[in-house]
Amino acid sequence: MSATPGDESRAPRFVADRMLGPLTRYLRFMGYDTLSASAFAEGNTREDTLLLSLAEGEDRILLTRDRELARRAGAGAVLIRSERVMEQVQQLHSLGLIEPDLTMDRCGLCNGMLRPASTEEVESCGYAPLRREDLAFFWCEGCRKLYWMGSHGRNLKEDLDRHLRRPSESPR
């Protein structure tokens, strides 16, 4: 059963292998606490063991495209079948693990919690849009990165809606 991402006590938490970078970012933008193997040093021969330990020790669901790693994790893992991120999101949604809705609660880079950005943070950010009316801005303390729900966010939301629409919700 999926839980609302904002309800930290009930929402599932994930750890994803290195092959699932785009899925990791989508899950974070949907508000799910998702760690990534990409945070580990590359070439670590014990990476799989670290992922298994992290998943078990922090009560996280391991997401992997590696059949052997999924087998080792047993019921604590989901073997992601597709290489396409929307199909990956659909798989997790079909399993009842997530609700695919962009919440902008977490940083796509570091997994840190976002907070509303101050006027000063928005104005000092060189990449903030000049037209700011009707936009909500969010700030990551860890990365010192500004986020907003602009055209990119709307496109992500439309992709989610289009790919995850149930047959009864299809347009006429």
pLDDT in tens, the chain (172 residues): 455 555 555 799 999 999 999 999 999 999 999 999 988 777 777 889 999 999 999 999 999 999 999 999 999 999 999 999 999 999 999 999 999 888 889 999 999 999 999 999 999 999 999 888 889 999 999 999 999 988 878 888 888 888 876 544 444 3
Q: What is the DSSP string of 8-71?
A: TTTS--EEE-GGGHHHHHHHHHTT--EEEGGGSPTT-TTHHHHHHHHHHHTT-EEEES-HHHHH
The CA distance from 38 to 91, in Å, is 22
pTM score:
0.85
